[in-house]
Structure 1
């Protein structure tokens, strides 16, 4: 047994640190990590994950009209005057036509005798009213028609994992995010892990695709909004005595420790210690303070211990939410190290016996 103990303590191959070595890394001993046994209380605090959703700047924006003029659009104007010597209408004619009046980069157009008029952000009907009012001070009862010659008005770009990427006009059937995504052919990835991000000016917000259809999550679109749809990029890493050691992408919006272990083939039945399932995570200051009951500064290293052999241990693991960037590590059972020591010892003795037999045969010859 002394030889076994010596070998077990030597540098035999293993998948990682033992349970005792991880506890030695606790702040209570010689390390800088907090090691916490998972309970219902720990789950209630640690399972709070950042929720996706749009800020009030997005949610409070009302629906825009379906014919809003934008910078760069080209308008056509027709003006009728009820006098023979009008301001704009040539002698002998009853109307004048301004075929192409482009909205400048600042959103304005210039109309003779009416001056500089803000067109961007207004509908053609509103621009007609403004021109009519200004000309009405100089010619009796002018009649004005405003039409869009070129340009799509307010537009949105939709890219990423959608049926048809492109630039789409905000029209009456596509004034909200969910409607616009439907216009773009829907999402081209699993809807459960489809993430929709909207960039508006210097602000960005994201939401899960499925949540768009919950009350209060859909938003009205604005000119030049940029919409990107992509598959969830969150992942966790599983190492140690698991069925497979790899980096695993999330397959749903939330995943428990039990589900994460199952995704990598479960615990290795010939190696794993069910008392030593650890989840390594960096927790923000406010969460760490709630977990430890201490005043802390900055992000803290937290090691969560899931002991599957404890009463309710499997329930604790089922309720423990894995987060993006987590590392799940399963320690080897103590008997595994003994088996390795025995194998190393018997293998060494077998090698010595083989060399001895070969030497005796040489001597006999």
Structure 2
């Protein structure tokens, strides 16, 4: 190496870090991963971990994305036993064998009574008094009325039917045709059925998010995923709240790409390769093929599965914190220098609000620095050549 080249190596090692940059290098992201604020020497720095994506990890993430509601609530075998509740409307029909009974006449041996279950769970039946209905099935209610009339009516028989289910409703609101309280039938109903009862969605399934609130549990999935994956079409329960929101899915593309910015999916699905292609691909002269990153707040179950319980707990102790929805920061790295990355990239789903960052090659900063210091010395061209060799 001649004297000029030696000089260039020295100044590169001494000063290239002072060149203004456009986002972190791949090595900087790798170096910060898994380190606490104290280890990084930066107060309140975000603690995250880095996961190299291969076929296994890509499949794990993809499988979880398509089963978000089922994992959160479970599909089970329906909602179990359906019982009468406060506010429900019932029709109690009483039959008697003789024409001289309490409820029969020469013209009719039956009478129908329309009742509403009161706040204390009971309803009044003539000659039987208050009968408890709340918490009973229709058959149990029938037997309760029959027992109350056994010593009063003439060989009575009873039929109890439901005419209104005020206690069995689901709130469906947001981007639907008719936001409303949807009454549930006595059979189990799924989330798409109550959405249909509320007039159906008013936007495309791939840009409609469905949020189900049940007690202190909240789950969100795309309507498209619910339609395409039967296990996601879970059974609703009385008191559930279903919210539909039009949410055009977008992601942010940054770094060494030809077209960065916030971009819309514009389709049902989007994988990593398609997302980069929407930005017209990476720049050949400056991108680092080993430095394609996707930044995301990820579901805790996925993070635990990818990192393992021990690593996950260690990061929590270092200060890794969830966002408002309980998701944890994770960075996925794709090595596009390997041929199978073109296969893996097709199976890895991009989610709304993801940030995809293509890091620049280290030689880019070296070239910038050498151009900066070399021009006054008349050695810019040799500096560029040396930078190319150093970047290899």
Aligned equivalents of 1:132 and 1:153: distance in 2? 24
**TM alignment of 1:64-103, pairs within 5 A:** 70-73=85-88, 101-103=115-117
SS of equivalent to 2:18 = coil
Query: Which residue does 1:16 correspond to in 2?
Result: 23
Contact 1:285 1:297 in 2 (8 A): no
- Which residue does the alignment assign to 2:358? 330
1:60 to 52, 55, 77: 77
Instruction: Indicate yes or no: 2:303 matched with 1:284.
Output: yes
2:149 corresponds to which of 135, 160, 168: 135
1:255–1:321 Cα contact (<8 Å) kept: yes
**Which stretch shows the higher mean deviation, 248-257 or 259-268?**
248-257
CA offsets per residue over residues 121-159 of structure 1, 9 Å max, x none? 667787566434421312323576878787767333211
Query: Contact 2:250 / 2:265 at 8 angstroms: preserved in 1?
Result: yes
- Evaluate the alpha carbon distance shift between residue 93 and residue 341 of structure 1 in structure 2; reply closer, same or farther with a 3 A threshold: same
2-side partners of 1:10 and 1:324: how far apart?
34
Using a 3 Å threshold, how does the CA distance of structure 1 residues 266 and 238 change in structure 2: closer, same or farther? same
Tell me whether 94-103 or 109-118 shows the greater mean CA deviation. 94-103
Superposed, which structure 2 residues align to 1:296-307 within 5 Å?
297-298=314-315, 304-307=332-335
1:335-354 mapped onto 2 (5 Å cutoff): 336-337=364-365, 340-341=368-369, 344=372
Q: Is the 8 A contact 1:64 1:220 kept in 2?
A: no
Match for residue 104 of structure 1? 118
CA contact (8 A) 1:59 1:218 kept: no
| Cα pair distance change 1:155/1:64, threshold 3 Å | farther
Residue 323 of structure 2 is matched in structure 1 by none
Query: Deviation per CA, 1:107-134, whole angstroms, max 9, x where unpaired?
Result: 3212343233233466778756643442
> Residues 34 and 315 of structure 2 are in contact (CA less than 8 Å); yes or no, is this contact kept in structure 1?
no
RMSD of aligned residue pairs (Cα, Å)? 5.0
2:64 match: secondary structure: coil
Contact 2:272 2:348 in 1 (8 A): yes
Aligned to 1:259: 274
Matches within 5 A, 1:42-53: 43=58, 49-50=64-65, 51-53=67-69
CA spacing shift, 1:99–1:215, aligned 2, 3 Å: closer
Q: Verify the 8 A CA contact 2:102 2:154 in the aligned structure 1.
A: no
Structure 1 residue 336, shift from structure 2 partner: 3.8
Give CA deviations for 1:309-337 in whole Å, capped at 9, x if unaligned: 34444334334444566543222235543
- Map 1:118-157 onto structure 2 (within 5 A): 118-120=132-134, 127=141, 130-142=144-156, 154-157=168-171
Aligned length, in residue pairs? 342
Q: Is the 8 A contact 2:55 2:344 kept in 1?
A: yes
Measure, in 2, the Cα distance between the counterparts of 1:314 and 1:200: 40
Per residue, is there more helix in 1 or in 2?
A: 2
Per mean C-alpha deviation after superposition, the further-off stretch among 113-122 and 142-151 is 142-151
1:185–1:40 Cα change, 3 Å: same
Residues 1:63 and 1:219: Cα distance change in structure 2 (over 3 Å) = farther
How far does the alpha carbon of each residue in 1:164-191 deviate from its partner, in whole angstroms, 9 at most, with x for none?
Answer: 2112333489944333322323222321
TM-superposed deviation, 1:288? 1.6
1:15 CA drift (Å): 0.7
180-189 or 324-333: which moved more? Answer: 324-333
Q: For the residues of structure 2 that align with 1:255 and 1:203, how far apart are their CA atoms?
A: 28
Q: TM-score, normalised by structure 1?
A: 0.66
Larger-Rg structure: 1
Mapped contact 2:70–2:231 kept (Cα < 8 A): no
For the residues of structure 1 that align with 2:150 and 2:374, how far apart are their CA atoms?
A: 107
